[in-house]
Chain A
Amino acid sequence: MLGIGFYRDHVTANLVTLLGLAVSFLALLMVVSWIPRQVTPLIIEDQYAFFYSGLILAATFLTAMLSYDYLERLPGDPEEYYLLLILAALGSVILVASSHFASFFLGLEILSISLYALIAYPRSGERHIEAGVKYLILAALSSAFLLFGMALVYAKTGTMEFTRLASQAANAEGPVLLAGLALIIVGVGFKLAVVPFHMWTPDVYEGAPAPVTGFIATVSKGAMFALLLRYFIGVDVVSHRSLFLAFSVIAIASMFVGNLLALLQNNVKRILAYSSIAHLGYLLVAFLAAGSFRVTAVTYYLVAYFITTLGAFGVITVLSGSEREADDISDYQGLSTERPWIAAVFTAMLFSLAGIPLTAGFFAKYYVLLAGVGSALWLLVIILVVNSAIGLYYYLRIIIAIYGRSGEKRRSPAGGISMMGGFVIAVLTLLLVWFGVYPAPLVEFIQKTAGLLG
């Protein structure tokens, strides 16, 4: 249904892409009264899927707008870029709506394959190619793991539908099923870039073009997490000892490794890469919580994370020049005196990542803690708290650079900021502050849509 909406846009210009995305978004609103319905055993279109589809489409829309200027500055043809972007979005939309292993895998592969090309899209640079190849090899490997895991689970339970899997899993214990689940977790964990499957993240983040990095960080991870949540919502993670333990270890390791390694970086994109690892760890804490807050907490966090991450990479994008990107901390030295508005926006984004009030990130973190405390996961929430204190340090480093005296080396970033880029950033900042000051409508909305899943 949505797929048709996409394939019609087999055209090349930016505007058509945007239009297509907007139409799909509107289509979502129009068909909202027909849901929930099962479209073949593969796809389920319920409130939850619709919410995440909307989120993905909106994020893709903004990414496409941001990419426009970025591509203008690159040599070569920019047209296929949009095709790939839309394909990736399609894959993600399938992922969030899938209720079957087959559609899960299909969506994942559509997403991944478009991403390989997107990462290496500026063919000129060595770094881009390297990042693309790295992603290709590791993603292929993880897909293999995932497939094998699915096969094992299928062999044990005899079904590939999530709903039936959940009921089967409850009474079919055993090493084979567990191994299958473990392999699936490896595959999923790779996509989410949680420790110990995180190795690709910094290199890919650094190598990919800034708008694509934003896309990977938000859409790809968000879609995967939405799927994970749907898959495990039936299986009560908290009561399943070994699963709970596995996810807890992953969450704790992600938080610590992400935050500690981020301390050592000097490249803003790498810092954001490690911080995203940590953020996924925070998300897993909410994921592990039982009860009514879980889905809402995860969804709210993802929305805030989408806004913030897109905003941060948006800033990097608009500040990037044609030769290289503004990704070193020293590029931000003294930004506040030269471009006070952009500096303020970037500061807001970083504060949101750190979870400081008046930004969406604050409520997101609060929500995760709420869910965690609600299920008495004391160890996890205390580790989360300690980690957000560690995390502060590297966010503050960037902020100090921004407000420091502008000094020596200031040769990079390009001239003015284009209308489109500025517009995207302004919209994101407004959303950030709105959800940071008055989140009640969003909370209501999430509870009415995605929250129904729990």
Chain B
Amino acid sequence: MILLLLIIIPLVGGFFAWLYGRRSEAAPRWISLVSLLIEQALVIVLWFRHPASGIGPGAWFADLQWSWIPRLGISFHLAMDGLSLLMVGLTAFLGIMSVAISWTEIRERVGFFHLNLLFIIAGINGVFLAVDLFLFYFFWELMLVPMYFLISIWGHENRTYAAIKFFIFTQLSGLLMLLSILGIYFVHASNTGVYTFDYFSLLGTSMAPAVSFWLMMGFFIAFAVKLPAVPFHTWLPDAHTEAPTAGSVVLAGLLLKTGAYGLIRFLVPLFPEAARSLVPAAFVLGVIGILYGAVLAFAQRDLKRMVAYTSISHMGFVLLGVFAWNELALQGAVMQMLCHGVSTGALFMLVGALQERIHTRDMNVMGGMWERVPRMGAVVLFFALASLGLPGLGNFVAEFLVLLGSYKVSVVATSFAVAGLVFATVYSLWIVQRAFHGKKRKEWAISDLSLREMALMFFMIISLLWLALLFWRSLR
């Protein structure tokens, strides 16, 4: 029941936010905040009730199954294990952050904005909890529409283009996944005579290698677009750059994670043999993603676009970790998902805060702002260091584990990936250098981070440190 609440609360909250959004501007903000805080509280309760759940997939401790369309073997089936719990926790946390960061940024159609934001949260929670393949696809599609609205209504200059591109990319790849889902459904039915979309029943479906490979490709393309892996990444810089701050936080922090989650939860368990045959290709794509993302990040003038490209680089590690498919690498991949969510989310929030003040994201205009906004500079430095993988912070642990794991599979790929860490150092420090140090291009008359923003950043920093500690503990 608590699983259903996790999805219902944001839906209801979003609806009321929209309803009261016409009367006052503040109401939707408070409603959203409260509903997400309840959500977070639920997650924390679950966390303490099942402390030993670990981070790996597989130990299910909550389950809810209702019949939905029995004739087709579709049921409303939610379940939770350690992995889903962590992801849902991240969703609630970043949800709160994105509501809070939009407090002053969004002034138009506030109610509708929060409706969309909370519906995305609900959709993402659904994705993390669904264990019926059809239901999973349902939520997978459902979260796209509000995201599309978020970008196309409240985005920046080139928002229409970015929104449509995002939508078509994800929709097309999603439909390919649907074909694969239907394929495995029929294969299972012809093996056993039972028509079902249930994840647990479909696990271990035996099929011919060629069939298995093509069905897996359907899933792989969908997840690779979301992740994004390199040839499918072009929607990402546009969508991230044009989205409003909350949209970027949700995109980078949560939406990309659904792709990684899909790989871990569905692709590898459903098609273990075929996935093994994909390992070399996935490794190559992962390494290319790491290096290519980093190089492109370095070449950007637009601060937000730059952060977007670093996401591609970081998600390359996730791809590497998932396909190395051993305990260490998998833990690293999950860790990377969480830490990247927090650190990149924070960077997007900072860029958003900066843009709200100086109305540009062009790094050639910035420079020398440290003395005006020391607090902001320091926080940016912190997250830049986190993102480059400074030991002691979560991202370091994550990338280190991934590299350890993938080293066992391919030494060459791992060596190239390590080079990515060097690039990460360069572009991360470059952010701080160009925006905050360097020559002062004009007299900045801007205010430093407000109390609200500092509080948010405080939470982000704490959670990043906590994640690092948590994982060191779980490793022991």
Contacts and interface: CB of A to CB of B under 8 A. Distances in A.
B138 A357 contact: yes
A403 interface: yes
A373 B71 CA distance: 17
Interface string B125-159: 00000000010001101101100110011000000
B182 A373 contact: yes
A443 B72 contact: yes
Interface in A376-423: 381-382, 385-386, 388-389, 392-393, 396, 400, 403
A166 B152 CA distance: 53
Contact of B160 (A358, A382, A400): A400
Interface in B160-181: 160, 163-164, 167-168, 171-172, 175-176, 178-179
B91 to A, nearest CB: 19
Interface residues of A toward B: which range? Answer: 20 to 34
A440 B167 contact: no
A54 to B, nearest CB: 20
Contacts of B145: 351, 356-357
B472 interface: no
Interface stretch (A75-83, A143-151, A183-191, A362-370): A362-370
Nearest to A382: B179
B172 A440 contact: no
B16 interface: no
Interface string B57-75: 0000000000111111000
Contacts of B164: 392-393, 396, 400
A392 B168 contact: yes
Contacts of B54: none
Nearest to A386: B172
A160 B176 CA distance: 43
Contacts of A337: 109
A366 B71 CA distance: 14
A371 to B, nearest CB: 10
A318 B178 CA distance: 36
Contacts of A370: 72, 182
Contacts of A366: 134, 178
Contact of B71 (A351, A381, A400, A447): A447
A370 B181 CA distance: 10
Contacts of B168: 389, 392-393
A388 B171 contact: yes
Nearest to B182: A373
A443 B182 CA distance: 18
A439 interface: yes
A444 interface: yes
Interface in A435-454: 438-440, 443-444, 447
Contacts of B56: none
A374 interface: yes
B413 to A, nearest CB: 32
A450 to B, nearest CB: 14
Interface string A328-370: 0000000001000000000000010000111000100010011
Contacts of B272: none
A389 B69 CA distance: 26
Given A356-B145, A358-B142, A373-B183, A388 B160 contact: no
A356 B178 CA distance: 13
A276 B91 CA distance: 39
Given A370-B182, A373-B179, A443 B171 contact: no
Q: Which of B69, B175, B178 has the most CB of A within 10 A?
A: B175
A389 B172 contact: yes
Interface in A54-94: none
A443 B172 contact: no
A400 B159 CA distance: 10
Given A351-B145, A400-B152, A440-B70, A388 B183 contact: no
Contacts of A439: 69
Nearest to A375: B186
Interface string B32-53: 0000000000000000000000
Contact of A389 (B109, B171, B183): B171
B172 A385 contact: yes
A443 B186 CA distance: 19
A374 B179 CA distance: 10
Interface in B180-221: 182-183, 186
A382 B173 CA distance: 11
A374 B186 contact: yes
A385 to B, nearest CB: 4
Nearest to B175: A385
Contacts of A362: 138, 141
A357 B167 CA distance: 14
Contacts of A388: 171-172, 175
Q: Which of A381, A389, A444 has the most CB of B within 10 A?
A: A389
A22 B139 CA distance: 39
A396 B167 CA distance: 9
A230 to B, nearest CB: 23
Interface string A180-219: 0000000000000000000000000000000000000000
A438 B149 CA distance: 25
Interface in B210-242: none
B71 A443 contact: yes
Contacts of A351: 145
Contact of B182 (A356, A369, A382, A389): A369
A359 to B, nearest CB: 10
B289 to A, nearest CB: 23
A369 B185 CA distance: 12
A374 B190 CA distance: 10
B5 to A, nearest CB: 18
A4 B178 CA distance: 47
A357 B179 contact: no
Contacts of B163: 396, 400
A349 to B, nearest CB: 14
A444 B109 CA distance: 41
A443 B152 contact: no
B117 to A, nearest CB: 15
A392 B70 contact: no
Contacts of B67: 440
B152 A403 contact: yes
B454 to A, nearest CB: 34
Interface of A: 337, 351, 356-358, 362, 366, 369-370, 373-374, 381-382, 385-386, 388-389, 392-393, 396, 400, 403, 438-440, 443-444, 447
Closest 8 interchain pairs by CB? A389-B172, A373-B182, A385-B175, A440-B69, A357-B142, A357-B141, A357-B138, A389-B168
11 contacts: A351-B145, A357-B141, A362-B138, A369-B182, A373-B179, A385-B172, A386-B172, A388-B171, A396-B163, A440-B69, A447-B71
Given A370-B72, A386-B172, A438-B68, 12 more contacts: A362-B141, A366-B134, A366-B178, A369-B178, A373-B182, A385-B175, A385-B176, A389-B168, A389-B171, A392-B171, A396-B148, A396-B152
